[in-house]
Structures are given as structure tokens and as C-alpha cells.
């Protein structure tokens, strides 16, 4: 149900010039928490309007998933008149979000130095591929390419398989979240200094930031991390295991949880076996341990067993499809599916605030501008 109470960022005005994913996701999160977000698109619209199927009224679902809680207008920033419109909007804004290639805003006379001199309180957030300088500075960045360059693909996939892209745009999305964090930090500091500042969230940096625990392992051991499939590189059983029906994921993080698992499977001797009695030993002897566990798990219904193990204190889950996950009763309870007038349906805000919860006010494609009213 659409909520109308003020959010934590009520009163903050955001001009979102960004396209594709990282920047628009940042703008949507800010909008969900009450900011007044105006999305400026080029005359042809954001590219993701065409990234389908599926489509609704000629606009792809991809666009709908990233542009809630924004009003939309179109400007051609290569034209002098439209740049003047933008400058008038920025005079009323607190935050600018953009992800143009390095040098584009400067070419238009809209670079940070120029804007900060004219609007000293403006927080200017840029989502970029690699940052503006350095060996790769100024180059465009794309999620899958950064997954490849940052090492993410090298540790994703089956142990005997090829490097594999994570099946969602994890780098773009975490970069959008890092942009949100940067904007909030800058707004907090502005409350003290009265000044805005330049905030940059780069896909390359964000991709590298996701490498835990693989980076930590390499820093300590010097050994290049390898693919381990669904299994965790440091602890075990932290892996998908087969049952009589559907696979389940065990996420056993300590000796107590492992003992409970063994007792539930009527394998109490495993918990005392020196090969498995400690976390380090279980990790070293994971191949043999998985074989012993799956031999017993052949007798169990996967979903029933997962429920039983969680109730007993063993972290565990059935492996669900996207459709099953989005229709799960707990998904509804956590308000993680949002429905709005006009048939819009999307993912809800994952951050819950007790007094100023996220609100859903504008479905994607809402046109209009109130900044200058």
C-alpha cells in the first residue's frame, strides 16, 4: 500500500541526471526515504526504457525497477536553453546525481568546480567507472566488465568450471548504495560546515570492496583464491547439499551448530570425529564431510528438513526460485513487494526506520517538476 508520511529525507531536493543502473538506483533509494527527486532524461529517454522484454506501454521492466519515487522531465543538455533550465533547478536543489563520462559535464560548463562556485551548498555525486584519473581514469565502466577485472568472476562458479558472472548486476547495485552512503555523509557534514562537496562512487572501487573474505585470505596467505562453487572458502558445511527432494543450503558457522546438525541427522559421532570436530578441520576435510552428510540427507525432504533445522538453531534454507522468493509469506510480511496505482509492482525498501519509514509516492514515468513552482 502506498504510504504518504514524511520520510527521513523529506525536504531534500535531488536532481538525478543519471542513466542505466548505479545512479538511478541511488536516486530511487533517496526518493524512497522522502527526498524530492527529479529525474532529467535526454530527449530520447534513459536507455533502459528499451531493455526488455517484458514491456509495459513500450517501456521495459528494467526501467520500472529503478525509477520509482521520481518525477521525470527531458532536457537536451547540449542546448544552451536547456542547460539554463538545469541551472535554475540546481539553484533549488541539495543534491546532484550524475554518471556522465568524465569530461562531459565539464564540456557543458557544468563541472564540479563551476557548480560548486555557483551553488556552494550543492552535494555533487558522480557514479563513474574508474574515477577521473589514474591508469584507467576516465574510461567507461560496465558491471560485467568490472566483475571480470575486479576478480569477482574468478572466484564465482564451480571449482572445475570457468569464471562466471554473478547472475545480477551486483557491482552496479553496490555502487548505487555506496553513492547513497556518500550523499548522506556529505549532507551530514554540510549540516556542520554549510558546504557541499564532490562525492564519487566508482564501479571499480565498489567491485574490489566486495572481495571479502577472498582479499583478506590473499593478504594473509599469498595464495590466489579459487572457485569453490556454492561452498564458502573458509568454513564448512557452508554449501548446497542434495536431499531426497530439493537441495538445501547449510550455513553452519560454529561447532555448536554442527553438533546440532549431526544430532538431527542421527550422526552424533561426526561431531566428535577429529576430522570434523572444529571449524578449521571441517574446512580442510570438506569433500569427505559433504559425502557423509549427503549419504544421510538422501532420507529427508529438503524443505521440511530446512524448516526443522532452522527451528533447531542451524542456519539453513531451501533453494528457492525468484518467483517462490517473491511470493514467500515472509516477503509479504517484510513489505518487500510494493504495489502502486496503475499496476506498478516492485521491490520494497530493505532499510526499515521506525518513525520515518520509506514511502512510495510516485510510480515510474510520473511527469512534472515542482522545484520551480
Q: How confident is the model at residue 4 (pLDDT cuts 50, 70, 90)?
A: low
**Interval 21-49: pLDDT, tens:** 999 999 999 999 999 999 999 999 999 99
Share of the chain above pLDDT 90, in %: 95
Asked if 18 contacts 370 with a C-beta cutoff of 8 angstroms, the reply is no
Angle between helices 22-32 and 170-193 (to 10 degrees): 50
Q: How confident is the model at residue 368 (pLDDT cuts 50, 70, 90)?
A: confident
Asked if 361 contacts 2 with a C-beta cutoff of 8 angstroms, the reply is yes
Average pLDDT over residues 208-230: 96
The most distant pair of C-alpha atoms in the chain lies apart, rounded to whole Å, by 78
State the Cα–Cα distance between residues 66 and 324, nearest whole angstrom: 22
pTM of this prediction? Answer: 0.92
Nearest to 340 by CA among 314, 357, 361, 367: 361
What H or E segment, with its residue span, contains residue 206?
A: helix 203-209
Asked if 225 contacts 155 with a C-beta cutoff of 8 angstroms, the reply is yes
Q: How confident is the model at residue 6 (pLDDT cuts 50, 70, 90)?
A: confident
pLDDT of residue 57: 92
Asked if 243 contacts 298 with a C-beta cutoff of 8 angstroms, the reply is yes
- Catalytic residue IDs: 172
Half-sphere exposure of 369 (CA within 13 A, CB side): 20
**Residues across the chain:** 373
What secondary structure does DSSP assign to 235-276, as a single string?
SSSEEEE--SSS-EEEE--SHHHHHHHHHHTT-HHHHH-TTT
Give the chain's domains with CATH numbers: 13-210+330-367 (3.40.50.10540), 248-318 (3.30.1540.10)
Asked if 94 contacts 36 with a C-beta cutoff of 8 angstroms, the reply is no
State the Cα–Cα distance between residues 124 and 177, nearest whole angstrom: 16
Average pLDDT over residues 271-286: 95
Q: How confident is the model at residue 372 (pLDDT cuts 50, 70, 90)?
A: low
The phi and psi torsions of 53 (rounded to 5 degrees) equal -80, 170
| 154: number of Cβ within 10 Å | 19
pLDDT of residue 369: 77
Q: How confident is the model at residue 1 (pLDDT cuts 50, 70, 90)?
A: very low
Angle between helices 302-312 and 255-264 (to 10 degrees): 130
Nearest to 86 by CA among 109, 120, 69: 109
Q: How confident is the model at residue 259 (pLDDT cuts 50, 70, 90)?
A: very high
**Interval 89-123: pLDDT, tens:** 999 999 999 999 999 999 999 999 999 999 999 99
69: left (phi over 0), alpha (psi -120 to 50) or beta: left
Amino acid at each position: 500500500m502506498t504510504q504518504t508520511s514524511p520520510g527521513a529525507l523529506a525536504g531534500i531536493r535531488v536532481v538525478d541526471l543519471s542513466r542505466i543502473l548505479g545512479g538511478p538506483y541511488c536516486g530511487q533509494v533517496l526518493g524512497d526515504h522522502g527526498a524530492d527527486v527529479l529525474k532529467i532524461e535526454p530527449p530520447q529517454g534513459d536507455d533502459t526504457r528499451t531493455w526488455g522484454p517484458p514491456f509495459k506501454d513500450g517501456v521495459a521492466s528494467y526501467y520500472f525497477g529503478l525509477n520509482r519515487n521520481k518525477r521525470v522531465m527531458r532536457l537536451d543538455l547540449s542546448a544552451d536553453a536547456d542547460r539554463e533550465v538545469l541551472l535554475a533547478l540546481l539553484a533549488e536543489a541539495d543534491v546532484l546525481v550524475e554518471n556522465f563520462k568524465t569530461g562531459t559535464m565539464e564540456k557543458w560548463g557544468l563541472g564540479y568546480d563551476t557548480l560548486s562556485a555557483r551553488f556552494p551548498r550543492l552535494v555533487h555525486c558522480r557514479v563513474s567507472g574508474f574515477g577521473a584519473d589514474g591508469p584507467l581514469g576516465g574510461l567507461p565502466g560496465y558491471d560485467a566488465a568490472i566483475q571480470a577485472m575486479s576478480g569477482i568472476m574468478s572466484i564465482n562458479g564451480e571449482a572445475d568450471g570457468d569464471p562466471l558472472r554473478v547472475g545480477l548486476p551486483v557491482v552496479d547495485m553496490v555502487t548505487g548504495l555506496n553513492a547513497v552512503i556518500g550523499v548522506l555523509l556529505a549532507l551530514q557534514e554540510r549540516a556542520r560546515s554549510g558546504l557541499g562537496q564532490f562525492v564519487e562512487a566508482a564501479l571499480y572501487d565498489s567491485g574490489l570492496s566486495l572481495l571479502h573474505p577472498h582479499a583478506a585470505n590473499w593478504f594473509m596467505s599469498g595464495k590466489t583464491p579459487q572457485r569453490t562453487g556454492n561452498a564458502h572458502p573458509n568454513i564448512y558445511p557452508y554449501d548446497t547439499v542434495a536431499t531426497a527432494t530439493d537441495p538445501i543450503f547449510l550455513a553452519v558457522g560454529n561447532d555448536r551448530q554442527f553438533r546440532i546438525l549431526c544430532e538431527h541427522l542421527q550422526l552424533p559421532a561426526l561431531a566428535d570425529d577429529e576430522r570434523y570436530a572444529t571449524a578449521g578441520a571441517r574446512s580442510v576435510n570438506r569433500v569427505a564431510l559433504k559425502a557423509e552428510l549427503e549419504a544421510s540427507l538422501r532420507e529427508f525432504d529438503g524443505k521440511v528438513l530446512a524448516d526443522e533445522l532452522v527451528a533447531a538453531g542451524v542456519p539453513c534454507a531451501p533453494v528457492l526460485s525468484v518467483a517462490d522468493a517473491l511470493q514467500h509469506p515472509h516477503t509479504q510480511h517484510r513489505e518487500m513487494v510494493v504495489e502502486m496505482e496503475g499496476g506498478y509492482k516492485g521491490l520494497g525498501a530493505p532499510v526499515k526506520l521506525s518513525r520515518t519509514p520509506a514511502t512510495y509516492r510516485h510510480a515510474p514515468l510520473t511527469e512534472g517538476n515542482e522545484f520551480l513552482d
